[in-house]
Amino acid sequence: MGNAMNRVDTTARGGVPNGGVSYWYSSTELPKYRPPLPGDREADVCIVGAGFTGLWTAYYLKREQPDLRIVMLEKEFAGFGASGRNGGWLSSELAGSRPGYASTHGRQGVVDLLRAMRAAVDEVVAVASAEGIEADIVKDGLLHVARNQAQVARLHDSLEFEREWGAEPDDFRLLSRDELDGRVVVADARAGTFSPHCARVQPAKLVQGLASAVERMGVTIYEQTTVSDITPQTARTDRGTVRAPIVLRCLEGFTASIKGQRRNWLPMNSSMIVTDPLPASVKAQIGWCGAELLGDFAHAYMYAQRTADDRIALGGRGIPYRYGSRTDDRGATQEWTIEALTGLLHDMFPAVRDIPIAQAWCGVLGVPRDWCATVVLDQSTGLGTAGGYVGSGLTTTNLAGRTLADLVLRRDTELTRLPWVGRRVRPWEPEPLRWLGVQAMYTLYRAADRREYKRELPATSKIARVANMITGR
């Protein structure tokens, strides 16, 4: 059906190539579209959305019960959304409030969920190896850096917090400035933390490899097929209707596109930039010889990786939310966001100031009202879903997919007893309240970051504490 590049615009703002889905696809190749749904079909399981959540669910279902007839429906191409646009952090970070999860399953339930997340990092690495998926995966861990006194205070609080929730000493370790510099040199760094439970990945390569793997197992993926309505045993599309006893909605940030789902998960935008390859002279100043992932303790946080071809890819929030739960799914971000991310990159790594920005892009992620991920299957209706990863989905999708598979197969397992299973979350407020709330939240967080830097506050700004109370984070 032709190459998807013909259907994705790449524009330039401020001289930086912008959009085109993501650099991860620009550096490889956009896939050709698979055929659309050829009319009405029947299946045992219908999965709406061919991103990581849907693909992992299909993978484990087929592995456990090969005779299942599984149909996947995708508006664009498999991995078009956040699955092919993210920062490439295969991390054990879990979105949401741990006390919130514990309110239904107790502290031990949360400890079990966190341990399952750490194990899921190795599970993804193992599956990629077993399926021959080459995705630049290197498990060198995760660094978080503190660059002012308030961030240092949050760093120490985070270490204590992790220990309170069952972390062992080797799961999260304090780094001095010298130890941090030995891994990567970040301007104004005061201290850092290191966790071994993270791997770098090229996300587009991983999602495309996984899509090919599930096809080899017998799963049918129909692309160029827009689902508009999901009801028990039915997914209605512009190409026909799929009927199945089990219908799983795996759309994450695009959930609002389904009839009746506009207020369930808020579509939050996140943007990225990537540099040209770094010359040897710049690499000598920065260090970063390994594949560690890099984050910080700011409120409007950043995330970065050193790519396999020696670039720095760095992301953060641009315009976080568009009125009415609209999504800008072509990948182009705002010029001011490119400038802000570039400024942050140069602030953290002055040596890269003369290195051009090769591309900018954005993606959309799903945010529940309580900021906690969920995995749900209603056995009475056959309707299920998983998502709400709040930007920490690359590993979480694997655990969620395995859990959904167990629920579909009606198995009582350790995974189906985890505290995110069956969570019910109230919807977001109607407009304009949710738009005003999100704009206010990020305005306050950015103001708190500026205040902490300028005044060298010894602890978290009261502005950020107010933002936390308002949003319920």
Q: What pLDDT score was predicted for residue 112?
A: 97
Nearest alpha carbon to residue 358 among 279, 277, 274, 270? 274
Tokens read off for 332:
């182009």
Could you tell me where the DSSP H helices lie in 27-82? 52-64
Per the CB < 8 A criterion, the answer to whether 300 and 449 are in contact is yes
Q: What pLDDT score was predicted for residue 119?
A: 98
Q: Return the amino acid letter for 230.
A: I
Q: What pLDDT score was predicted for residue 298?
A: 92
Task: Quickly tell me which residue has 């045993």 as its tokens.
Answer: 233
- What is the residue-wise DSSP string for 390-410? TT-HHHHHHHHHHHHHHHHTT
Q: What pLDDT score was predicted for residue 471?
A: 64
Cα→Cα distances 461→322, 350, 441, 454, 465, Å: 27, 27, 14, 11, 7
Q: What pLDDT score was predicted for residue 44?
A: 98
Q: What pLDDT score was predicted for residue 319?
A: 63
Q: What pLDDT score was predicted for residue 239?
A: 97
Q: What pLDDT score was predicted for residue 4?
A: 44
Q: What pLDDT score was predicted for residue 328?
A: 60
Longest C-alpha distance within the chain, in Å?
A: 63
Q: Which tens digit of pLDDT belongs to each residue from 95-112?
A: 888 998 999 899 999 999
Identify the H or E element spanning 246: strand 246-249
CATH value of 33-137+201-262+370-428 in 3.40.50.300, 3.40.710.10, 3.40.50.920, 3.50.50.60: 3.50.50.60
Q: Distance between CA atoms of 83 and 81, rounded to whole angstroms? A: 5
According to DSSP, residue 36 is labeled: P
pTM for this structure? Answer: 0.94
Identify the H or E element spanning 236: strand 234-237
Q: Give per-10-residue mean pLDDT for the chain (473 aa).
A: 42 76 94 97 98 98 98 97 96 91 93 97 98 98 96 96 96 96 97 98 98 98 97 98 98 88 85 97 96 94 96 84 68 89 97 97 89 95 95 94 98 97 87 83 83 82 79 62
